[in-house]
Structure 1
Amino acid sequence: MDYFHLNDKTKIRTNCRFPTPIQYAVDILKRDMGKVLDAGTRLKDDRQSIIEIGYVSEPDKDNWEQYIISFSQTNGMKTMHVQGNDELGIIYGVLYVSKVYLNIDPYWFWADLSVQKKDSISIPMKQVISKQPKVRYRGWFVNDEVCLIGWKKEYPPTREVWLPVFEALLRLGGNMVIPGTDLPRHGIHFELASELGLWITHHHAEPLGAEMFKRAFPDKQASYTRHQDLYESLWEEAIQQQKDKKVIWVLSFRGQGDEPFWKQDSSYDTPEKRGELISNVIAKQLHLVKNYVEEPVCCVALYGEISELYKSGNISLPDGIIKVWADNGYGKMVSRRNGNEDFRIPSVPEGTDQGKQGLYYHVTFHDLQASNHLTMFPSSPSIISRELENAIQYGGDDYLLVNAGNIRMHLYSLELVSEIWKNGKVDTKDCLTRFIKRLYSSHHQELSNLYHQYFECTILYGEHEDNRAGEQFYHHPVRKIISHWIQGKYGQNLPSLNWVTGDRSFSEQVQWLKEKCEDYVERWSELMRKCEQLHVRLNNNDKQRFADQLIIQVKLHESGCKGFIDVCTAFHYFREKKYPEAFVYASEAIWHYQKGYEAMRLSEHGKWKDFYKADWLTNVESTIQNVDTLRKFIRMYGDSPDFFLWYKKYLMPEKEKYIYLENTHRKPLTDDELAKRLKEVLF
């Protein structure tokens, strides 16, 4: 077989003037060639070749996003032809060259993957024709993206932050994005995503991408009935701003702050009234879009109360729009938990004959309860594969929007979903094996085993397979417990924990949570030991990547689980009026939570400096501060007002207790110093 030789002499040629998105892709290819093809190597390959990029001669609309890579030879000059049926087809073809021939991984930026320098790459001159992805519109909702927001000084995030996000999405075959949540309008996020060739879509709380009503009209009641003209002016303005871009228009109507609109307008007090208004608004929004856009692509998110109203027959939807069904935030295609209510109403496509349908799916979530934000999806990857494969097979293949969070911590889950949106299915075991081999240079089986074990360690707190806890489980409930405790309400049930403990006394709630964590803490400790044992045997590059990708997540779970147990133990001693013992355990909790905080700091090396600085959602630092407040509160019981009494009772030599001069020997110990010394005496 003849070969095409890719080297530093290879030229890139285009057969027409390209729009901006394709030029971005060409620039990426040039950058990647410069990184891989080293002109300074001793082995020289002087053979010249050409990469010619362009559209196919007769584009076929039915083969959207298809690319063809073929080869030719004229007078000894070999040419690689990268052709696409449309703009995205060319982009994906160019990125195929980068991925397959130059070996640039989609996660090169996010996993700090180095490139292997070569003087030349020999490519078989064999035609490549891409397969059409299973899902038509597929991509990421970069949501709850506080790490991306806080990473750099500039706000809103700049091109430097967004380019690696959009590039990774394109490399994984995505074509759609919601770039961020409620970011300032002057930010670059929407414009840059569009410039890169991605379809833009909107948050279901911001229909048509319009500005929030209360931001535009802060002195007006957020009532469509009273201010129909003002709402519609915002929608029309948004449409005009985006009409020349590739947009999947979200039709919806929710209240301000992503909650039901009837919380601001109590006159809508029945399902019939609510459904009728939503139906009328969606019809109006569609009419407005059609005034400016020919054959628009539109969808409606059947999320929360809108799903319930639709299923009860109170919402009617226009023909042709994509109905988007949502999971519960934990990977199961059922309605999400709302406070203590968890009805688990199926949220799945209605069948292939019921029009266009799609999915909104979380691999990361934030709900102030047990979600994962800084760590991986907590349930078995088989849930992702089963739920998405079934939903797609049943008609949900028009749209798949994945809540991708801050990207860096969710690479494996995003890899799984990208396989599904390409092929409609995934073998989770094979996917993990390929993922590990791409990220690490050795010890592949051991690494695969540790990643697999991660999903077996997460706390199963309920009766359903998706009731698995992310790292927020160790933080939001603990802070609620501390608040309830310090306010002296520990004789009362804490209602905001009933979703997990059931309706029982506060003491029983605390004990239930303590025992649940105790059931799993040794699993995390054992996984941590195995990770540390393997870590020392990896090469330096793999060591850092392993620490950044898995060890940090195990530490957040292990330290959080231990800290939670210690807070609960402190409460037990406090109720028995054993205040020094309670003080020691509160201190132990702080020290455990600090290990998770320190793990984030260690992961902020090089370009990742300050990446976790804006951990405002899980907020490990806030938990440490809360427990420190608790510790100071406990010390008030018995060691106040001079904060010397426990030292005198437990630590001072017996012969000194009755003869010391208080005015010269009374420097109180710090909380940490006192706790460490009391621990030696009391336990």
Structure 2
Amino acid sequence: MNSRALSISAASLYDIQTGWTRPIEHAWSMIAKDHAAVFGQAAEQGNAASIVVRYAQKEDGCPEWPEAFSFRFSGSDATPVLHIVGRDELGIIYGLLHYSRYVLGVDPFWFWAELPPVRQDSILLPAENVDSLRPKVRYRGWFVNDEVCLIGWKEQYPPGEEVWQPVFEALLRCGGNMVIPGTDLPRTGIHHSLAVDMGLWITHHHAEPLGAEMFLRAFPGKQASYKEYPELFEQLWREAIQHQKDEKVLWVLSFRGQGDKPFWENDPGFDTPAKRGALISSVVRKQYAMVSEASPAPVCCMAMYGEIAELYKQGHIEVPPGVIKIWADNGYGKMVSRRHGNLNLRVPALPSAGDDGKNGVYYHVTFHDLQASNHLTMFPAPAALITDELDQAFTACADEYLLVNSGNILPHLYTLDLVAEQWAAGTANREQQLKAFIGRYYSQQHTEIAGLYRSYPECTIAYGPNPDDRAGEEFYHHPARQIMGHWLRGQTAGDERLQWAAGTGTFLEQVRWFREQAEAAAPGWEALRRQCLQVMETLPEDEQRRLNNQLLVQIELHLSGCRGLASICRAYEAYSGNHYPLAFIHASHAVWNYGEGKAALERAEHGRWKHFYRADWLTNIDNTTQHADTVRRFVRIQGDSPDMFLWYKEYLMPETEKHIYLENTHRNPLSDDDLARRLETVILQNS
């Protein structure tokens, strides 16, 4: 048995023998920061180092696959030396980050979970060799998509290094190696160059093939038709290739229309599947040839997304040999085609048996779709859906590539951690991962906190028959705003935009359906909130903040959303029966309930998270609250106009005053809030 051990302390020196590329510089800055956080003293470099960082040599026996690393030891029993050796640049980075996590004790999400490492005087590291395990997925990473919270967090736009560096660092610490760094941000931003500088592979949104500028942005006023302007499209592709040809890029080959929709909406002459498939195939071949000419042995992929997957399965699209086909879930974690409006075909979205070539997956743990998605809150279905779907994808050989929609990072640490385990090992034990996740962030109440996480998806609204038909917080906002708009436009026929959930009945029937869902779910969220608050009472202050930021705020968004949606639906039902004061009261409750969701976000905006949620432009609680406020003002005008005094006189004024008051002494109408609260004590108590 090897009894040698290396003592690592503040005085331990590092010797970086790899040369100083930008990715190595960034990796060293992480280690230096981690060393200082653990030992209270800045890390230093020197020749007589106890930790040596270098590229692997033949005699090291380092695994030979890309990105592999090993720990090897030299020196005497009394003074062993740790050699962190890597097969390539990312191997060096992952070796250093393995040292950070398992020797220094720095959590992959230390920044996002506000979890500094434990301060220590010294660490005793057994001098035992370590070899990295080969990840299941070759290319694995995040699409930082719909990232409005990251965009609005700081004053600078586009966001600067203080926003992007913690994102890319967390991705690397989770073993990720590729990223789409944001969505349609100005190209003057640092997001792309910083990701490259930190050693990550860059890949592209399927609506921006090769990472090129959007056609209509580059050529405003021209029709976005490849048939009419092939040379202009190719100019944009060529410029993108030239800009990135010296970087590590997974080139996305694709052809969709402007604004991420089928191209034939801009070019209606392509009116058959055969014509559409033929053009996409020819464009992809052209893109592939252009990339191959500029970059030797390029890594290329093609998104089997939406209409492209359908055309491919119908045999209308040809994919060049060696190109990775990327299959997407429906936004709710199921590997089927996504819902478009009311159309939900649920066509399986995985390669068919016998499909040749390499395949991969684009997977959502967060989504934004103007219907029922989870943007500010966690994945709404049980974790088993994630692991089972990815298991099936890997079984279907879609394991070359896994791109995870990571959204704003902060609300999604649990599911991002789960997927990182799966892309590394090929499978994930959900219970073990949950227990380990909770154990990393909390010193006590592990069983109770794990129970909260298990109960969370049980509380989400099941709005359809499928296991993935579970509602995120946007369910309480986008349909609610549609309901309010439909109402105030005076429309009583069913709203087509609500049929995906509430069916094809009358508008009143649709509204009643949404109310019933919200009212049925609210008690579960109320109970879960009470349980979470009880657990928080026993935790240290820093862990209380963590549980609030990671879970309680999400529970409160669901609870306030359920109450707000139910209230606005009750308001319409009362209004449709000409019960205007009652409708006004319920609309006021909608304002107050949605306001509770806003207050929950504001309570989470402390310390480094100040202003984190101020750019809530997608779920947009402020917008919903303003809609509800407009509704109650509208309703009050129906029965309390023009002087906003009639309801006060009818319901609140003492009988003895009604017949003798002088109008010139009663000209200060109550505010909406005050009137609603006072009416409620009379009308609801007497109903």
Q: TM-score scaled to structure 2, two decimals?
A: 0.97
Does the aligned pair in 2 maintain the 1:349–1:358 contact within 8 Å? no
Query: 1:609: which partner in 2?
Result: 610
> Residue 549 and residue 400 in structure 1: after superposition, are their counterparts in 2 closer, same or farther (change >3 A)?
same
Which residue of structure 2 aligns with residue 561 of structure 1?
A: 562
Whichever residue aligns with residue 638 of structure 1, its letter is: G
Contact 2:63 2:132 in 1 (8 A): no
Equivalent in the alignment of 1:53: 53
Instruction: Spell out, residue by residue over 1:504-545, the C-alpha distance to the aligned partner (whole angstroms, 9 max, x if none).
Output: 110100111111112211111110111111111111011000
User: Do the aligned partners of residues 351 and 173 (structure 1) sit closer, same or farther apart at CA in structure 2, a change above 3 Å counting?
Assistant: farther
1:114 is aligned to 116
Q: Give the drift of 1:76.
A: 4.5
Q: Matches of 1:631 and 1:344 in 2, distance apart?
A: 39
1:290-305 to structure 2, matched below 5 A, reads: 290-305=292-307
Alignment match of 1:240 (pick from 221, 239, 242): 242
Instruction: Map Cα deviations across residues 588-639 of structure 1 (whole Å, 9 max, x no partner).
Output: 1111111110010111101111100000000001000000000000001110
Which of 486, 489, 492 is residue 491 of structure 2 equivalent to?
A: 489
1:243-322 superposed matches below 5 A: 243-322=245-324
Pairwise CA distance, 1:117? 0.9
Per-residue deviation, 1:71: 1.6
The aligned counterpart of 2:45 is none
Q: Tell me, in whole angstroms, the C-alpha distance in 2 between the residues paired with 1:537 and 1:650.
A: 47
State the alpha-carbon separation in 1 of the partners of residues 139 and 175 from structure 2: 10
Q: Do the aligned partners of 1:9 and 1:49 also contact (CA within 8 Å) in 2? A: no
Measure the CA separation in 2 of the matches of 1:543 and 1:353: 50
TM-score, normalised by the number of residues in structure 1: 0.97
Contact 1:137 1:175 in 2 (8 A): yes
Q: Distance in 1 between matches of 2:285 and 2:508?
A: 52
SS of the residue 1:663 aligns to: helix
Alpha-carbon spacing, 1:293–1:259, altered in 2? closer, same or farther (3 Å): same
Deviation of 1:79 (Å): 1.1
Aligned equivalents of 2:278, 2:77: Cα separation in 1: 70
Aligned counterpart in structure 1 of residue 29 of structure 2, from 27, 30, 35: 27
Q: Distance in 2 between matches of 1:489 and 1:39?
A: 68
**Distance in structure 2 (CA, Å) of the matches to 1:358 and 1:351:** 14
The counterpart of 1:82, out of the listed 81, 84, 89, is 84
Give the direction of change, closer, same or farther, for the CA distance of 1:450–1:34 in structure 2 (3 Å limit): same
> Aligned residue for 1:646?
647
Q: Which amino acid aligns with 2:233?
A: Y
2:520 matched to which residue of 1?
519
> Given residue 28 of structure 1, which amino acid in structure 2 is its aligned partner?
M
The one-letter code sitting in structure 2 at the alignment partner of 1:507 is L
Q: 1:104 aligns with which of 103, 106, 127?
A: 106
**Deviation string for 1:462-486 (max 9, x for gaps)?**
0101000000000000000000000
- Give the equivalent residue in structure 1 for 2:629: 628
Partners of 2:353 and 2:64 lie apart in 1 by 23
Contact map agreement 2:22 2:197 (CA 8 A) in 1 = yes
Deviations 1:177-203 (A, max 9, x none): 000000001111111001100000000
Match of 1:397 among 396, 399, 403: 399
> Which residue number corresponds to residue 469 of structure 2?
467
Q: What's the counterpart of residue 333 of structure 1? A: 335
Q: Which moved more, 1:515-524 or 1:578-587?
A: 515-524
Query: In 2, distance between residues paired with 1:558 and 1:536?
Result: 20
Asked whether the equivalents of residues 15 and 49 of structure 2 are also in contact (C-alpha less than 8 Å), the reply is no
Offset from partner CA, 1:409-458 (integer Å, 9 cap, x none):
00001011101100110011111110001111111000000111001000
Cα distance change of structure 1 residues 39 and 268 upon mapping to structure 2, 3 Å threshold: closer
Counterparts of residues 212-251 of structure 1 (less than 5 Å)? 212-251=214-253
AA at the equivalent of 2:515: K
Q: Which amino acid aligns with 2:214?
A: M
Q: Which residue of 2 aligns with 1:44?
A: none
What is the distance in 1 between the residues matched to 2:524 and 2:75?
60
Structure 2 distance, partners of 1:676, 1:3, is 70
Q: Determine the C-alpha separation between the residues in 1 that align with 2:115 and 2:159.
A: 23
CA distance in 2, matches of 1:353, 1:463: 30
2:69 and 2:92 in contact (8 A); partners too = yes
1:20, distance to aligned residue in structure 2 (A): 1.3
How far apart in 1 are the matches of 2:223 and 2:382? 45
Paired residue secondary structure (1:53): strand
Question: Cα distance, 1:77 vs. partner?
Answer: 3.4
| 2:508 is aligned with 1:507 | yes
Q: Deviations over 1:6-62 (max 9, x none)?
A: 10110010224132111211111111001101359xxxxxxx861100100139894
Q: Is the 8 A contact 1:350 1:395 kept in 2?
A: no
Secondary structure of the 2:663 match is: coil
Secondary structure at 2:664's aligned position in 1?
coil
Contact kept, 8 Å, 1:4 with 1:49, in 2: the verdict is: no
Alignment of 1:75-224 (within 5 A): 76-224=78-226
After TM superposition, give the deviation of residue 349 of structure 1 in Å. 2.5
CA distance in 2, matches of 1:354, 1:468: 34
2:57 is matched by which residue type in structure 1?
S
1:515 and 1:455 mapped to 2: Cα distance?
19
CA distance in 1, matches of 2:129, 2:296: 36
State the shift of 1:265 in Å: 0.9
**Contact preservation (8 Å) 1:352, 1:394:** no
| 3-state DSSP of counterpart to 2:83 | strand
Q: In 1, Cα distance between the equivalents of 2:396 and 2:71?
A: 33
Tell me the C-alpha RMSD between the 2 structures.
Answer: 1.3
Residue 549 of structure 1 is matched in structure 2 by 550
1:476/1:16 CA distance change after superposition, 3 Å: closer
Determine the structure 2 residue equivalent to 1:587. Answer: 588
Structure 1 segments unaligned to the other structure (5+ residues) = 41-47
User: Which secondary structure does the structure 2 equivalent of 1:593 belong to?
Assistant: helix
CA distance in 2, matches of 1:427, 1:364: 21
Q: How does 1:343-362 map to 2 (within 5 A)?
A: 343-351=345-353, 354-362=356-364
The alpha-carbon distance between structure 1 residues 62 and 396, as it changes in their structure 2 partners (threshold 3 A), is farther
Q: Which runs of 5+ in 2 are unaligned?
A: 43-47
CA contact (8 A) 2:4 2:78 kept: no
Distance 1:280 1:60 in 2: 43
* Separation in 2, partners of 1:220, 1:394: 42
Map residues 635-674 of structure 1 onto 2, 5 A cutoff. 635-674=636-675
Aligned to 1:679: 680
For 2:668, give the aligned amino acid: K
Cα gap change, 1:527 to 1:580, in 2 (>3 Å): same
Are the aligned partners of 1:108 and 1:114 in contact in 2 as well (CA < 8 Å)? yes
Match in the other structure for 1:18 = 20
Residue aligned with 2:404, SS:
strand
Does residue 573 in structure 1 map to residue 577 in structure 2? Answer: no
Supply the distance in 1 between the matched residues of 2:354 and 2:414 (Cα, whole angstroms).
Answer: 29
Q: Give, in angstroms, the shift of residue 78 of structure 1.
A: 2.5
Give per-residue Cα distances to partners, 1:62-93, cap 9 Å, x unaligned.
Answer: 41111001222249433110000011111000
2: distance between equivalents of 1:317 and 1:400? 19
| 253-262 or 65-74: bigger deviation | 65-74
Q: For 1:442, what is the secondary structure of its paired residue?
A: coil
Using the TM superposition, give the Cα deviation of residue 658 of structure 1 relative to its aligned residue in structure 2, in angstroms: 1.1
- Out of 60, 65, 68, the position equivalent to 1:66 is 68
CA contact (8 A) 2:4 2:77 kept: no
SS at match of 1:451: helix
User: After the TM superposition, which parts of structure 1 deviate over 6 Å for at least 4 consecutive aligned residues?
Assistant: none
Aligned mate of 1:363, from 362, 365, 377 = 365
Q: Deviations over 1:546-572 (max 9, x none)?
A: 110000000000000011111111111
Q: Compared with structure 1, are the counterparts of its residues 75 and 399 closer, same or farther at alpha carbon in structure 2 (3 Å cutoff)?
A: closer
| Letter of the 1:56 counterpart | A
